[in-house]
Each structure stands twice: as C-alpha cells, then as structure tokens.
Chain A
C-alpha cells in the first residue's frame, strides 16, 4: 500500500518536473527567438548607419549652404549607433531598448529634414549616386520596419507564454522578465520618418 502511494507521488513529481522542463525549454526557445529578431533589426540598423555617411558625402557636394542639416544627421547617426551598441549588450534591459528607440527617432527626424532639403535641389535629386543611396535607404527603412514587426510578433508570443498559468511559475522561478515591445509609432517625428520618394 505504501509502495503504491510512493509510486503515485513519484509519478506526480516526475510529471511536474517533466512539465517544468518542457515549459522552461519553450521559454528559452522563445527568448532566443526574441534575441534573434533583435539581431535582425540590429543588422538592418547597422546597414543604415553605414549608408548614412555615404549619403551625406554625396549630398555635401550639392548642399554647401545646408551644413547644419548635414551635421545634425551625422550626430544623430552617431548617437543612435552608440545606443544600439548598448542595447546589443543587454537586450532584456528595458531602458536600453527605450533609449535606442529615442535615438532612432531623432535620427529618423534628421534624415526626414535632409530629404525635405534634397527636394529643393533638382540636380542632387537627379544625381545617380544619390538615387542609388535613396533606393538603398528606402529599402533599409522597409527592412527595419519588417524586422520590428517580426520582433514584436516574437515578443508577443514570449509574453503570452510566460504569463499564462503554469508557465508563469517557471518564469518567476528562473527570472524570465517580460520583454518590451518596440513602440515604433511613439513619436510623431518617427512616424513621419524618411519616406524617400523618388
């Protein structure tokens, strides 16, 4: 009789452990997916940081009188790059993502102003290099947008999994924090981020 109870308890404990392992693995998988999705954004952000100096160099030839606009783009780019470096170090840190978001918004605004200026210079708009960079920039903006979409989808899935009942116990036990979504439409400046139209 005693052995019977022992077996039942053992089986129950094993079952709980098994569920715990499965849930833990699932959470780890989802958290890694978030990391991967962030890396995707990061790749595209880096692409944009690399693109901007070239774009500015091309524009500088035509825009002798718009020095401040160009400087603003460069400094915003450098700040955003620094913020991205910090966020890369610790994805889970909520403050880092928010700071990156703000820096990106500033960069988007600066680029937007540059594009408005470009509109006023037909020769610059017609420049072959400029057109190529504009196409690349449009594409990069789109990729960042799509990568964000994927990142948020992943965050949603992770949060759903981590906050639902038995999983939230495992999540608390192993310190899985709720991940933050990228609020891409937070600021008006970013919402109107460079729509490069050529």
Chain B
C-alpha cells in the first residue's frame, strides 16, 4: 500500500508546481519587458529614454493576461474531468450499443475492481485514429477516463486493460488532480501566443487582413515566451509520473504485455508518423495523454519520457515497436465482410475490362492504353462542358452551408461521376433524405454539369475531415459502392476516391512510413504511371500524339532520362501505388513536377477536357502542393477556395 506515499509525493509536487508557476510568471513578465524594451530601442534608436509608465504598463498587462487567463481556465475546470474530456471532443460512453465501447466500459469496471477505486466516467474520443488515452479530474468522484477510438480498434483486450490501468494509476496517485491544475496554469501562460496565432490564421477568409496578420505575428512572437515557459512547466512536473503509472498498470493487471504491447504499438504509430490527436486543443492536455509525440526527442521540453525507455523498464529489455493495424472487430460475418471491404480500397474496383480473379483490375486489358481510356472518357463525355461553360455555374454552390445530415449524401454523390445507374443507386442508398424532401440542396448539385463537381467535392470533403472516424469510414464505403454501381471505374472517379482517402485520413497502409525525401529519379516510374493516366484524359482518342510521347515530354522537362522500358498499360492499382509513392517525394521536387505536368497539359491548349483539369487539381491536393498559377487560372470560381 504505497499509494499514500505516492499521493503525498503528488501533493508535494503540487506545492512545487505553485512555486514553479509563480517563478515562470515572474520570468515571463520580465522577458516581456525585455523584448518590448528592445523593440522600443530599435524603433526609436533611443537607448534610455523610455516613456513614463512603460515598464509598469507592460508588467500589469502581461501579468494580467497570464494570471487572469489561469484564473478563468481554473474556474472552467472546476466542472471536473468531464469538462476536459468534452473540451477535446470526447463523448461519454453511456450505452453499450457499440461492441468496442461496451468492451471499454467493461475493462474500466474490471480495473475499478482491481484498484479498489470507484469506477470513473468513461469517454471516447471518436475522431481520433491514434492510440491514446488520458485521465482527468479533481477528486476520485469527478474523474474521467478518456480513450481514443483508435485505441479501441487497434488494441487487444489485454492491451486496452493495460492502458486503462495506467490511467487509473494517475487517478489513484493524485496525478489527475495535479494535471488539472497544470492545465489552468499553462493556459494562462500560453494565452498570448494562442491569441496571436488565432489572429494570424483566422479561418474566416473575409476577416483575414494583412494588418491583423502582422499584429498577430508580433503578439505570437512575444507570447511564445509564455508558450515556452508553459512547456517547461509541464515537462518539469509530469514526466516522472509516467514510469510510476506504467509500473502500477503492471501491478493491477499482473500482465506486463498489456501496457507494454500498447506502448509498442504507439511506438509503431510514431514510426508511421500518424499518432497525433486531431483536436487543436489537444496541445493543452498533452501532458495528460498516455503518450505525447510532440518533441519526442525534445529533451527538456518533452512531457513524457521516451517510449523506448518506458518499454525497456516494463519488459526489462528493449523491444521493437509493434504494427498497430486495426484489429478485426469480431467474428460477425457481416462486419468482417465490411472490414474486408475497407481493405479493398477504391483502386481494386471493377471495370468491365478487368478480370475478376486477378484481384487487381485494369483499365486496359490489351496492351494499348488509348482505347480503354477512351472508353472511360466517353462515359463522362456527354456532360462534359467546355471551359467556357464551367465559368457560368453558380458560385453560390460553394457557399452552401451543408447541413450535417446531408453531407455524407453530397460527398458520396460528388465522388461518382456516372449517370443513370449511379444516380439510381445513390437514390436507393439515401432514400430517407429523399423521403423527407430535404434533397433540394442535393438537386442543386446534381443539376450542375460535372465540371462544377470538383469545387463542391473539395468543399464538402474538407467539411468531412473532422467527422468521427466510423462516420468517415462509412462514407468511404458508401462512396465506393456508388462508384461501383454502374460496373465501371472512370479515371475521374479514381482520382476522387484517392482524394477522399487522403483528405479523410483513411489510407489503409501507412503511407508515411520511412522517409519523405525521394528524388524525382526515384519516382520516375510513378511519374510515368500517373502521366499515362493524365495523358489518357488529356488526349482525345482521335487526335495524334500518344500518351507515351506525352510522358516522354514531361520526362524531358524534368531532366529525367528515357524510361528503361516502355510502359504501355496502367491499371487502377498501379496508379494508386504511383500516387502513394509520389506522396513521399521530397517537398522541393513536388512543385517542380506539378509545374511540368501543368505546362505540358495546359500551355497553348485552349480546350483542355474538364476531367483532366480536375485530375491535375486533385493531384495537387494529393501530393500537398500549392496549385500552380496556370492551373488555378482555369478555375476562376475556385480561386478563393483553399483546401
């Protein structure tokens, strides 16, 4: 029963925290004064003549900001741990409707029995695909345990038990309380910085004015002193407690592989560079999380000890990270089938030319690409307007504030670009909206020419990025179903499926594994594959000039040599693989590649097919590159739309 001793330690740490906080406040205020005095000197060239009340005003204002902010946040935090969980987008697990949430609730009950605590309230962070968890609360009565959806899906029962036991230790040993206090303090210290940052990147595009941006930059620069102080404060207090909680987790569960396996999976996620919480306010609670990857190697600034060291202490030796794949939900055949469906991404979908047993289905079965591509282009041709027509579509389509219940339907509709059957299948899927007569907005969309879809698609897609994980997944599933409805996959549908996966953060395999610095030469084959597809969309079937020649021209622009062998076919799978590879292209080479493609496609060509323009735009988003000016000029209505 050493937990009393640990509680005393935590209490002592709380007292130390108060002194540390006061010290940081004094230092931060002094730093503010120093910086402002320096600015004053630089601006006036006057070394000593400060205006009257200069330092007094600075001190009062900055101290007022910090102490006032801390006080305000502490008042907010009085409401207890549930407030923190809701602040970062948590939802309380009340009913056990979902199988995984039911399991979480049971595991919490088990740990309550093991540790002799009252069971805390349970929250889940439904938007987060990473493995993480935290505990918060002033007293045992108001404490909560919050776990991300990713943890529910990627951890086995034993590992989840270890994670929950770790968080229970934080409650039992008084760390949760300490952390609550810390949130308040750090909030005050970082207030100025956050204020400046909000001024700089205000998401409201009308309100963004240069004056505000510059002012925001200044405020953020001065405020970053406080931000740094807050970081140091968090790091100083919370790091040591993690070892204790890990040890306690082993003690409660009598199973090192529980918490150990969870930590190894988190390490695996960090290798993949995907273990981050989405919510902007997650930074505020970084010290509470099970693991925090901000400044992993940051020494004094890290809020958590290195994962490798934690794993080593649990197992007694170093252990390699584990892959953190989504575990199959259960043995329910329907659910397993659905999970398999997720694994088969858009790129393995059928078109009439494909052979079902190969698994990877091609656009072109025979060795010449053009006829097959022409077939898919013909499918979208009837509604394909000329660029002039594209300019007349009403721009208010972009400004529609989509109601949340219509968003999935809109997104699914916009992903597909077929007529007849596609639309039929779509209506079948969303009969409810149909019946409620809410489809007025959607009608507005489907009465538009296909040319208008890209902008609306991007717009709706960005709105969806923040939806809960299972919702995003089901949207993707529905989109793929609709795309598949007419039995063919056109290239523009493929681009949109890829874009959907990218923006909604649903890549099944870890794209970001390994490095990010491939050179153009290393990506030459991928460039060719994507180029062949682009050329197929660009060059009308009757016209002279082959896709291979088009690709050779791009290669020449980029200064790459001739291809080793002549690539004649592209399949949806090869395009997908190529895009995945291009995502790892070095950041410096991406604009270069985009520029070469745009130049080759657009220079001196008056009527570029709309779906090729859409494809180029989609590629810019896929490989995270600014849209080239030549390309942006073709989308006059989308100039102010930034994804």
Q: Which residues of B contact A81 (CB under 8 A)?
A: none
* B114 and A146 form a contact (CB under 8 A): yes
Contacts A135-B102, A136-B106: A198 and B254 contacting too (C-beta < 8 A)?
no
Contacts A126-B332, A198-B330: A135 and B99 contacting too (C-beta < 8 A)?
yes
Q: How long is the Cα–Cα vector from A147 to B252 in the complex, in angstroms?
A: 11
Q: B123-153 vs A: 1/0 string, CB under 8 Å?
A: 0000000000000000000000000000000
In the complex, chain A residues 84-137 whose Cβ is within 8 Å of any chain B Cβ = 122, 125-126, 128, 131-132, 135-136
Contacts A147-B113, A150-B113, A150-B114: A135 and B103 contacting too (C-beta < 8 A)?
yes
Q: How long is the Cα–Cα vector from A14 to B566 in the complex, in angstroms?
A: 104
Q: How long is the Cα–Cα vector from A142 to B110 in the complex, in angstroms?
A: 6
- In the complex, what residue of chain A is closest to B336 when comparing beta carbons? A126
* A138 and B113 form a contact (CB under 8 A): no
Instruction: Let me know if A44 is at the binding interface, CB within 8 A.
Output: yes
Q: Which residues of A contact B111 (CB under 8 A)?
A: 146
Residue in contact with B331 in the complex, picked from A131, A138, A143, CB distance below 8 Å: A131
Instruction: Let me know if A58 is at the binding interface, CB within 8 A.
Output: no
* A149 and B114 form a contact (CB under 8 A): yes
Residue in contact with A126 in the complex, picked from B107, B254, B333, CB distance below 8 Å: B333
Secondary structure at chain B's binding surface: helix, strand, loop or mixed? helix
Q: Which residues of A contact B252 (CB under 8 A)?
A: 146
In the complex, chain B residues 148-170 whose Cβ is within 8 Å of any chain A Cβ = 157, 161
- In the complex, what residue of chain A is closest to B334 when comparing beta carbons? A126
Distance (Å) between the CB of A139 and the closest chain B CB?
4
Q: How long is the Cα–Cα vector from A2 to B529 in the complex, in angstroms?
A: 112
Q: Which residues of A contact B96 (CB under 8 A)?
A: 132
Residue in contact with A146 in the complex, picked from B99, B110, B157, B332, CB distance below 8 Å: B110
- In the complex, what residue of chain B is closest to A148 when comparing beta carbons? B113
Residue in contact with A149 in the complex, picked from B102, B254, B332, B333, CB distance below 8 Å: B254
Q: Which residues of B contact A168 (CB under 8 A)?
A: none
Distance (Å) between the CB of B228 and the closest chain A CB?
43
Q: Which residues of A contact B333 (CB under 8 A)?
A: 126
Instruction: Let me know if B274 is at the binding interface, CB within 8 A.
Output: no
* B113 and A132 form a contact (CB under 8 A): no
* A139 and B114 form a contact (CB under 8 A): no
Q: How long is the Cα–Cα vector from A198 to B327 in the complex, in angstroms?
A: 12
Distance (Å) between the CB of A178 and the closest chain B CB?
21
Further contacts, 7 of them, CB under 8 A, given A131-B330, A139-B107, A198-B331: A122-B331, A126-B333, A139-B106, A142-B110, A146-B113, A150-B113, A198-B330
Which residue numbers of A lie inside 8 Å of B, CB to CB? Answer: 40, 44, 122, 125-126, 128, 131-132, 135-136, 138-139, 142-143, 146-147, 149-150, 198
Which residue numbers of B lie inside 8 Å of A, CB to CB? Answer: 96, 99, 102-103, 106-107, 109-111, 113-114, 116, 157, 161, 252, 254, 330-333
Q: What are 19 A-to-B residue pairs whose CB atoms are below 8 Å?
A: A44-B113, A122-B331, A125-B331, A126-B332, A131-B99, A131-B330, A131-B331, A132-B96, A132-B102, A135-B102, A138-B157, A139-B103, A139-B107, A142-B110, A143-B110, A146-B110, A146-B113, A146-B252, A150-B116
The 10 closest A-B pairs by CB, nearest first: A139-B106, A146-B114, A146-B113, A142-B110, A143-B113, A143-B110, A147-B113, A125-B331, A126-B332, A126-B331
